[in-house]
Structure formats: C-alpha cells, structure tokens
Amino acid sequence: MTAVPTVTEVIDGWQISEPLSVAEVADLLGVSPHTIRYYERAGLVRIGRSASGHRRFDEEAVRRLLFLIRMRSSGMSIADLHRYVELVDQGASVDERREMMLRHRERILEQIAELQTALAVTDYKLETYGAP
C-alpha cells in the first residue's frame, strides 16, 4: 500500500513562493478551475485579486482549498464545510471543530472498511477467473 503524505509534506513540496493563478491551483490540486470558483462563490475561501482583477492564490488560500476538496471528496457535506469554516473564521470553538473532524473521521473509516470488503470480493472473483 502506498504511504499517504501528510498535508505539510504535500504543501511543502509545492513551494508556493508567490501567488498562483486559478489555472495553476486547479492543476496543483487536480480539480477544475470551476470547482475552485465554486468554493469561492460559496464563501468557503477568500481569494485575493491582482490589480487587473485576476484571482491570485496565496498559501493560505491553497491550504484551505486542499482541505475543502479533500473533505468534500471524502463525503463531508457543503453544510458541514460551511459550519467548519465559520468556526475557523471565528477563531474559537476548537472543541466543536475537533468533534466535527472526529465524526467525519469515523465516516471515512467506515468508507474504507466498505471499500476493503469490495476489494476482497473483487479479488475473489478475479481468482475464480484465473487472474494473477
């Protein structure tokens, strides 16, 4: 199984030394520019603008987007993301954020267990077909 990098390892590997464009961030995170604009319109991330009005993403915005995208891809609802971001922006409520993350972690672990079972069934079927 492939080792999963930490968020810090991923972000440090990016070496964001100057603000990035929406296309650069989309490429970096493996999503479409539309997805990034959606999170901005939803009020989940604040993105700076250049003098000409183009989006410019600093490290903080990229970190926030990484979090949002990973949480969404693992099943966190937009409503929960809004609540979490609201709590972060308030600067308090660490206990409530921790509880949200613990609940979400449990859901992820359940998804992993379901996928492991699906993989085992798939492997069984492949064995019955003589696949290596």
pLDDT for 56-114, tens place per residue? Answer: 999 889 989 999 999 999 999 999 999 999 999 998 789 999 999 999 999 999 999 99
- Domain harbouring 12, CATH code: 1.10.1660.10
How many domains does the structure of the chain reveal?
1
- What does the block give as tokens for 94? 């660490």
Type of residue at 108: I
Q: The tokens of 67 are what?
A: 């979090």
Q: Quote the CA–CA distance of 36 and 25 in Å, as a whole number.
A: 8
Q: Give the pLDDT band of residue 121 (cuts 50, 70, 90).
A: very high
- Whether residue 86 lies inside any domain: the answer is no
The answer on pLDDT for 127 being more than 90 is yes
Residue 122 lies in a domain: no
Per the structure, the complete domain to which residue 56 belongs is given by 1-73
Q: Write down the pTM of the prediction.
A: 0.82
